[in-house]
Structure 1
């Protein structure tokens, strides 16, 4: 299912970049433009500018720029399609899709989930037992409201509700709320309800916990549906995402209360994996907001194994991993002691690779030392950062007396656990690519890989149109679909040689510099002496002076 190009064009023409960004940032007027501290990197002097007249934004500190759509993608951490839909709702534009039936069904499921979530939340007011349970767990009313916590009654309230609302039972089955159209109760009957939300705040699933610990299973989550894929979701991320960006790290825990209780006392940059093994998609999701995570898991064998698995995934996405072992209390219980205790616990967290090296130093058993060395090498084999790999190979070599060359060869034997995925839908057609972009993309899949990578390394990162950037990343990360591969092969271009490939890269770099030059002039105008000097320097670099 794809959003039709005419809808995208309509939204681009209607969505005002100032209207959108001013809802997120405190914009100050500077001439005909507006400025603010950039939300995408740390700075003390504003370098983020918005030009309402030209409908663009640009940060001259980190280099990011774009329109209202790209701002939402960057700031909210949502997909291109989600940004389009959000802007369409803001401006009252009807979104047109190809594959309408699939979209219609998903919309119906989401609407039902929203209605059921409100029903559960309302029911909590009428049943003292679940309210007392939450109170005994230390959860206050404002936190219950913040996380939309509810209750599913054991009586016939749910059946009466769906009859009153005239809700299609087949859709309730599709939403994972009832087992069959003959069900007399929902799956979560008698449980405290935790709505699970996507990044835009839409309810996509539920988690339920029994009030009586003698009943089992203690926790029950929604099954996979057309709108819920557990490997792509983190509980609490919708509530935590701005705090994660602000603190520049995320705390990872395992359960609902492990998120809710710390959040309540002030540790708000916290999310949960809901007891499942961390996935590549979840790591990619967090990468939109931070490059650092603290894993607050149990210190037992299972907890440490979970940390090893998660570390391999995070490092493969370029995310730094810190380990905060929990000896006897989970984050929920630790939060009862207050924010200060939680913060102190986090401050004791160590870089997980450093933790392993330190453990190795303090271990005398040959068998255990060999096991730790293998764990470190296994983790390093997935890391994206070559400098980090080199540093830890050196450290490991000094600690063990083993040759670096031997450790590198051993590391290569471990296979990366990275799952290749395609997370983003693409809505821009190939005719939006210029000739230079087509040559570069086609060269990447048809020329000798080592030779083209050497050329790329000489020029650094190349960035241009949205579709080009998407395909470039997909090729370099081996995430290109068969359909996209065939599409690139079919591009009409001059003959592809190493010479035409390099010329195309050079052309794109100059076009990008010209674009920056125009953006600078557009946003600031040509009246500032300082700006004129920057423009002069850019122009000089374009002509090679």
Structure 2
């Protein structure tokens, strides 16, 4: 069943790109546009631009671009229909289903959407189990013992999996779910050697729902309450099409607003740590769920803040074993602090022990930057063992070297020198040695990649042809850029629009780049119907390739600061100040590229004349074509002011 056009239109009318994207990344205004570090790839300098006036986004680093709907599709990894549902939920728009359905549409539910529906059913099933006699006496009792309030239980969708082999399986099948979808969602298992025997994955355990960033259930963690040594304390959902552990942090859906407001993210280890901190009034907290920190999880934090505070259990050996996570956070461009709890305590136990106010006070007083924290861990070893001190210095230098910002590196170098009681120059020297080695390794890797590319080009013999085709592609792109940005504008003192002028002058040219040829074809078709398409025409179209390219063409990488004209009275000439001249030069450049291409083709045929056994007259004709084209090029060069050597 599809979403009705009425609902889609309501969503499109109501949605605002700034509101949609700011749910995922903090935006800062610069000129007319808003900027952020791209949520789709790791970067230190913002290259992700949002244009509220055009309702589009564009990353100049990775090339991602689109409107609010496309952003939700990209960030959530969902289809168009699900993106519309997501935005309808955000804006409180009632979703109407399209009654006209074909048999094909009935079967067109994507696997991903089916998995999300099944996981949502399982979430509801586990939550409702807390109302059963078994759920009350076992699951709800456990949560109450830990001080979890009904509000917190509801907030995190905590639940209980009944003791039995197939409670969820039977309920899901009764509700119409196929066993295949339940298997793919990781909710049931298939007995080894007996494919007909299937049973619930989660049994006799309390359940912690794992949500994606928009709040949909994508997996579960489940804790056993008995002391059965043959069973693991926790079991978790497996990797599925909707649950990739390396990209998920438990509690991020509940924490993202607070993380952005507080500009800090507390990072803990387990599910109960997150829930307990919320009970203490601390909502900007997420958990890695016991796994080693990954690059995807670090990028997820960085969408909302550059500050992270790692909360460690009071276990020195365990802390030292997990220090690698700090280096990864630093490398990801985050500013890192750490807090260690008293021996034998973790965030969950300590928050329950001392109460909310004392717990928050402890975090504030005991938060240390990563240098002070790391050196403090080894202070006893350093004091009694000079060799160990040298090793610690190298470890600290290695961590400082992970910081992308050179100013921050310098600040932490000075702090480390003071704490380690060593000359700052020694740490600087060791740091430079480390950075040089890293640069050398990167350079050698780059050279190796360039060498491999050169070998490929040599093998296919296409270097010259490729570079020439690229030049032509860029000139075609420039022509289309002028069309979509200014095609609807009239030339000064004339009734002629720029698009009419450009297309009349290039009527005999056929573009080689498929997407530009497609846009040119659309323009020609619209003009034949006395319609001039503006940017909205392309942005609301259904061709995703055209839409993405048009967004790229209307998104300027840099803006001229208005204070140059206002404060300094400097007049900046813009390309649309004289569209007649801009259009004329663009046509000349494009024609020059086509002429050069035909000259190259003629020259190549002359070179191959002997191999192809061409007659003298044929060669003479090719030479005549070449020199005629050369004269045309010279005339164009004069018009463009190109100096001819």
Q: Which interval holds the TM-score relative to the shorter structure?
A: 0.5 to 0.7
User: Which of 11, 15, 29 is the aligned partner of 2:12?
Assistant: 15
User: Which of 132, 152, 173 is the aligned partner of 2:161?
Assistant: 152
Max Rg structure? 2
Contact 1:252 1:296 in 2 (8 A): yes
Q: Judging changes above 3 Å, is the alpha-carbon distance between structure 1 residues 492 and 208 closer, same or farther for their aligned structure 2 residues?
A: same
Q: Judging changes above 3 Å, is the alpha-carbon distance between structure 1 residues 165 and 301 closer, same or farther for their aligned structure 2 residues?
A: same
CA distance in 1, matches of 2:153, 2:313: 26
Compute the TM-score of the two structures, normalised by the length of structure 1.
Answer: 0.65
1:230-249 paired onto structure 2 within 5 Å: 230-249=245-264
Q: Judging changes above 3 Å, is the alpha-carbon distance between structure 1 residues 14 and 130 closer, same or farther for their aligned structure 2 residues?
A: closer
User: Which of 433, 436, 445 is the aligned partner of 1:409?
Assistant: 433
User: Which of 108, 112, 121 is the aligned partner of 1:115?
Assistant: 121
CA distance in 2, matches of 1:152, 1:342: 32
Q: CA deviation at 1:515?
A: 7.9
Q: CA deviation at 1:224?
A: 1.1
Q: CA deviation at 1:244?
A: 0.4
1:318-364 per-residue CA deviation (whole Å, 9 max, x = no partner) reads: 10111101223111112213221221221111001132345566632
Which residue does 1:540 correspond to in 2? 570
Contact 1:308 1:379 in 2 (8 A): no
Which residue does 2:235 correspond to in 1? 220
Q: CA deviation at 1:179?
A: 1.5
Contact 2:249 2:297 in 1 (8 A): yes
CA distance in 1, matches of 2:26, 2:70: 9
Which residue does 1:330 correspond to in 2? 346
Q: CA deviation at 1:266?
A: 0.7
Query: How many pairs align?
Result: 416
Q: Judging changes above 3 Å, is the alpha-carbon distance between structure 1 residues 136 and 489 closer, same or farther for their aligned structure 2 residues?
A: farther
Q: CA deviation at 1:542?
A: 3.0
Contact 1:315 1:321 in 2 (8 A): yes
Q: CA deviation at 1:159?
A: 3.4
Q: CA deviation at 1:406?
A: 3.6
CA distance in 2, matches of 1:346, 1:334: 11
Contact 1:277 1:306 in 2 (8 A): no
CA distance in 2, matches of 1:541, 1:73: 38
Q: CA deviation at 1:177?
A: 1.3
1:279-319 per-residue CA deviation (whole Å, 9 max, x = no partner) reads: 11100000000001111012424432355211111111210
Which residue does 1:522 correspond to in 2? none
Which residue does 2:394 correspond to in 1? 374
CA distance in 2, matches of 1:490, 1:240: 52
CA distance in 2, matches of 1:134, 1:171: 30
Q: Judging changes above 3 Å, is the alpha-carbon distance between structure 1 residues 341 and 376 closer, same or farther for their aligned structure 2 residues?
A: same
Q: CA deviation at 1:122?
A: 0.8
Which residue does 1:185 correspond to in 2? 199
Q: Judging changes above 3 Å, is the alpha-carbon distance between structure 1 residues 64 and 372 closer, same or farther for their aligned structure 2 residues?
A: same
Q: Which has the higher contact order (CA 8 A, sep 6+)?
A: 1
Q: Judging changes above 3 Å, is the alpha-carbon distance between structure 1 residues 82 and 160 closer, same or farther for their aligned structure 2 residues?
A: closer
Contact 1:39 1:75 in 2 (8 A): no
Q: Judging changes above 3 Å, is the alpha-carbon distance between structure 1 residues 24 and 397 closer, same or farther for their aligned structure 2 residues?
A: closer
Q: CA deviation at 1:405?
A: 2.2
CA distance in 1, matches of 2:9, 2:331: 35
Which residue does 1:499 correspond to in 2? none
Which residue does 2:225 correspond to in 1? 211
The alignment status of 1:344 with 2:361, answered yes or no, reads: yes
Which residue does 2:278 correspond to in 1? 263
1:172-228 per-residue CA deviation (whole Å, 9 max, x = no partner) reads: 111111111644531111110111111011111110001113352010001111111
CA distance in 2, matches of 1:281, 1:391: 28
CA distance in 2, matches of 1:59, 1:250: 21
Compute the TM-score of the two structures, normalised by the length of structure 2.
Answer: 0.56
Q: Judging changes above 3 Å, is the alpha-carbon distance between structure 1 residues 446 and 409 closer, same or farther for their aligned structure 2 residues?
A: closer
Unaligned segments of structure 1, at least 5 residues: 1-9, 26-37, 42-46, 50-55, 419-444, 448-487, 497-507, 518-532
CA distance in 1, matches of 2:73, 2:259: 12
Q: CA deviation at 1:80?
A: 7.3
Contact 1:307 1:323 in 2 (8 A): no
Q: CA deviation at 1:120?
A: 0.9
Q: Judging changes above 3 Å, is the alpha-carbon distance between structure 1 residues 339 and 386 closer, same or farther for their aligned structure 2 residues?
A: same
Q: CA deviation at 1:59?
A: 8.5
Q: Judging changes above 3 Å, is the alpha-carbon distance between structure 1 residues 249 and 77 closer, same or farther for their aligned structure 2 residues?
A: farther
Which residue does 2:145 correspond to in 1? 136
CA distance in 1, matches of 2:125, 2:572: 62
1:428-447 paired onto structure 2 within 5 Å: none
Q: Judging changes above 3 Å, is the alpha-carbon distance between structure 1 residues 268 and 395 closer, same or farther for their aligned structure 2 residues?
A: closer
1:492-507 paired onto structure 2 within 5 Å: 492-493=470-471
Q: Judging changes above 3 Å, is the alpha-carbon distance between structure 1 residues 302 and 201 closer, same or farther for their aligned structure 2 residues?
A: farther
Q: CA deviation at 1:392?
A: 3.1
Contact 2:202 2:222 in 1 (8 A): yes
1:159-174 paired onto structure 2 within 5 Å: 159-174=169-184
CA distance in 2, matches of 1:259, 1:107: 28
SS of 1:179's partner is strand
